[in-house]
Chains A and B, each alone.
Chain A
Amino acid sequence: MIPLLPIALINTYWFALPLILAISLVYAASRHEEWPRILRHAARLFVMITGILVLATAILLAINTQV
């Protein structure tokens, strides 16, 4: 196996981005056949999922720092 130690130093939050990108593209591709539609839908979904996650993280962080 390839050593992964340098990857272990990356904050795990960054691993969410490729995951969200893959989810957005595959979901959009399963909805449409034309590429402009797929890409537009995927971009919208990517922004929406990322936004919700950032918001949820911010709320949880705010609560945690007050406890």
Chain B
Amino acid sequence: MDRPNPDLIPLKNRSKAAALALIWPGLGHLYQGRYAKGILYLICIFGLYAVGFALGEGANVYWTWVNPLRDAEHFRLYYLGQFWVGLPAWPALLQATLVHLGHQPILDGFMAAPLLEPGMNDEVRGVMEKVVNHAFSLHQKYGGLKEVGDIYTTIAGLLNVLAIYDAFEGPADRANPSAQASSSTDATAKAEEIGR
């Protein structure tokens, strides 16, 4: 009878696991059956993002479709990290696209960039003025906490890159034989060899 080798980590469909890890922190590991790690990533990465998001009252995760070489001031560098948290950060992309195309942002400007453009029509401008006022009021209310929120949300995204890599490739420590990862087919083949 074939017995699974406990030294091998079944990564199942690695691409699917990586995609799930990108969509929501920890989801890829839960799919692979690595529940403890999935929950650890969920708590550490999503928890960090959620606290950072709350510190900025949701006004610190946004994106703008601007060329950083032409308009460096309005380019949102933090979002390059925040993006990797996945679904919790992606509404910002939708809002930026809507505003860029001249449409009114949805959900009362939630996660829209606090920017007023001269070419905006009155409807869009009405929503965006609220977003801008809210973003500026944060500094008065909480001082440097908005920046702490920026850092938390950005680092959370960057940490999820490690989690995505772990879901796709297994743990990075290859020197330890028990940390060796393999796809489910490799695991089955090796388990068969050991069983013989």
**Are A18 and B51 in contact, with the CB atoms below 8 A?**
yes
Per the 8 Å Cβ criterion, residues 90-137 of B in contact with A are none
**Interface core residue of A18, A21, A27, A32 (most chain B CB under 10 Å):** A32
Per the 8 Å Cβ criterion, residues 21-61 of A in contact with B are 21-23, 25-27, 29-35, 37
Contact residues on A (Cβ < 8 Å of other chain), bracket: 20 to 34
**Interface core residue of A4, A12, A25, A26 (most chain B CB under 10 Å):** A26
Q: How far is the CA of A22 from the CA of B44 in the complex (A)?
A: 5
How many chain B residues have a CB neighbour from A under 8 Å?
38
For the complex of A and B, 9 pairs with smallest distance between CB atoms: A30-B162, A22-B44, A26-B159, A30-B166, A8-B142, A31-B173, A15-B148, A1-B57, A22-B48
Chain B residues proximal to chain A, CB less than 8 Å: 9, 34, 36-37, 40-41, 44-45, 47-48, 51, 54-55, 57-58, 141-145, 148, 151-152, 155-156, 159, 162-163, 165-166, 170-173, 176, 178-179, 181
